[in-house]
Amino acid sequence: MTHEIKVTHDLRPLFGPVRDQGSRPTCLAFAASDAHAGVREGWAPLSCEFAFYRAQQRAMRPPSAGATLPHMLDALRYDGQPDESGWPYVSTSPTDAATWRPPASPGPLFARDGQQSPASFAAACGHLAAGCPVMLLIALSASFFTPTATGVVVPGAGEVPQPSLRHAVIGVARGLVDGEEAILVRNSWGPGWGLNGHAWVTEPFVSPRLFALATLGGDVDVPPYSVAA
């Protein structure tokens, strides 16, 4: 299946290669970390492991559970995160949460303010038009796993969102797919998904599935202490 795609706002040049979260529940850490890296000058990937750890410490959740958006935003704002090399991503969940700790000296920490916005397709498009990548939290359904060859998610007849399949991606472009408003999302499932890790989702797909939306603002200083320490 081919589609006519017209790109109107494209923020992909802000980002480097897509990454792969593997089997861990770290999609929000990847979305937040890459959104953070994308709004910094130049592209240098930031430590997803550090952001996920700090968010889980704040929420008192284990590494086997997914992160929550408020705690992830707090982690970026109050704890910051180092470069990826400061605490490289671990491909498998820690078997002993007690030993899951950041390095003693992960390097400089970069923090950024973030805020939730109304969770609507129109709001997401507005942020992209203003040059701001947007974190989208959506409930998945079957079609999301298999975009078309031209990188479009096309839901099947009667397909409905599955609330148990929650996922976070980054909106990085805006445009039209076959004349319909659409957003290009950057995923964290490696370059083999969609078109080099990206796919277009249209308003009819997004609107019934979108349950949270957030953007990142200016950089801030990391406080001299951390409530998550």
Q: For 94-152, how does the pLDDT look when each residue is reduced to its tens digit (9 = 90+)? A: 888 888 999 999 999 999 999 999 999 999 999 999 999 999 999 999 999 999 999 99
Q: Positive or negative CA dihedral for 43, 166, 134, 197?
A: positive
Q: What is the mean pLDDT of residues 155-178?
A: 95
**Percent of the chain's residues with pLDDT above 70:** 97
- Say which residue the tokens 């839901």 belong to: 155
Buried b (16+ CB within 10 A) or exposed e, 145-167: eebbeebbbbbeeeeebeeeebb
20 and 38 Cβ atoms separated by less than 8 Å: no
Q: How far apart are CA 40 and CA 43, in angstroms?
A: 7
Q: pTM of this prediction?
A: 0.95
Q: Which of 147, 136, 183 is nearest to 5 (CA)?
A: 183
Let me know how many helices (H) and strands (E) the chain has, helices first: 5, 7
pLDDT in tens, 176-187: 999 999 999 999
**Residue 222: what pLDDT?**
86
**Residue 227: what pLDDT?**
47
Write out the two tokens for 62: 């284990």
| Contacts made by residues 93-102, CB under 8 angstroms, sequence distance 24+ | 93/23, 93/24, 93/25, 93/63, 93/64, 94/63, 97/62, 97/63, 100/53, 100/63, 101/53, 102/49, 102/50, 102/53
**Residue 228: what pLDDT?**
44
**Residue 72: what pLDDT?**
98
pLDDT in tens, 50-108: 999 999 999 999 999 999 999 999 999 999 999 999 999 999 988 888 889 999 999 99
Q: How many CB atoms lie within 10 A of CB 99?
A: 7
Spell out the domains of the chain, with CATH numbers in brackets.
Answer: 5-220 (3.90.70.10)
